[in-house]
Structure 1
Amino acid sequence: MIQEKYRECIQACLACMNACNYCYVSSLKEYDLAMLRECIRLDRECAEICSFVAEALSRSTPFAKELCELCAKACDACAEECGKHEHHHCKQCEQSCRRCAEICRGMITAA
């Protein structure tokens, strides 16, 4: 039953993880890798954090508030970096990160 209150956040984290992983792989195929270096790095960090937070929330972690705060920060950083690029995969990742950060912030106040 506890997982039910985390459902939206878990789904947002998993969607963000997928968007970050897709952006990461797609960025590696782009011609100018140097320009995307920070984007690639933050995609990987954000994907890993989102994955961990989704898993932890599914176990009803007692650290939900702290983990959601970290996730929101990672998503903000990734969204900011992806927003600097015009690639379609970066724009999709930016949107997913912003949504996840917003939902995680809602969890911080609710937890």
Structure 2
Amino acid sequence: MRIGELARRTGVSERSLRYYEAQGILKADRTPGGHRDYPEGAVDRVIRIQEFYAAGLCSSKIAELLPCVRDADGGPSAIATPRLVDDLTLERDRIDRRIDELRRSREVLDDVITTAAGGSADED
């Protein structure tokens, strides 16, 4: 599929897809005319890349991680190194801390909303 179709199917801009390719985290063949030609599996790959970015991973860490991830079309092609596992554990811990912070923020907002609505914060 061409880059425009991949962009439409994933909701990711063509510019981002080109960036992913430059970073080595997305691969495309080239047509005789020089256009990018992505396999069907690129849709799942782009969605996975977006998930990793949303989790706060940088492109170099994503490039290191992707070969260790089970794709829809089969198993991983590499085993995560102990260093990568340590790095990812730290990332997961960071995400867990952020989730806790967001939960606390939501509780504060719930209290403000309840108070503003004329109720008490204990009426849940």
What's the TM-score, normalizing by structure 1?
0.31
The higher radius of gyration belongs to 2
TM-score for both structures, normalised by structure 2: 0.28
> Which of the two has greater helix per residue?
1
With a CA cutoff of 8 Å and minimum separation of 6, indicate the structure with the bigger relative contact order: 1
